[in-house]
Amino acid sequence: MTITIYHNPACGTSRNTLAIIRQSGEEPEVIEYLKTPPSREKLVELIAAMAMTPRQLLREKGTPYAELGLGDAKWSDDEILDFMLAHPILINRPIVVSPLGVVLARPSEAVLDILPNPDIGPFTKEDGEVVVDAGSKRVI
């Protein structure tokens, strides 16, 4: 079974998501999307699979979102895709693809919904937030 994560190692949510996937017993294909951005076709495919619009996938924090005026409703979906391709940091992350679906794993535990083995045992995020307690009960 192949699981792919579009990952930014500088992002805590992305690191937590990767750790959850690995704790589930899977070793995903890790694509550092800032180094290897998806093609336009792949990005359109991912957005459609998540039932989102390009605007819904835009990341604001830590990006040139404000400088580019992306909050303005004048931008079409195609134009937003152009911005994402020119500035991959605008693509929110992590995006995880599995045979069970595609999710924007924000929060990171959203990935549990598409893992073949979501019973990962106890898991605590980097910041100390408990996702699955010692009784293997999902807390969040």
Question: CA–CA separation, 14 vs 90, rounded Å?
Answer: 15
Show which residues are catalytic. 11
The secondary element (H helix, E strand) that includes residue 109 is: none
Question: CA–CA separation, 30 vs 16, rounded Å?
Answer: 13
Question: CA–CA separation, 105 vs 94, rounded Å?
Answer: 6
User: Nearest-CA neighbor of 51 among 104, 91, 13, 88?
Assistant: 104
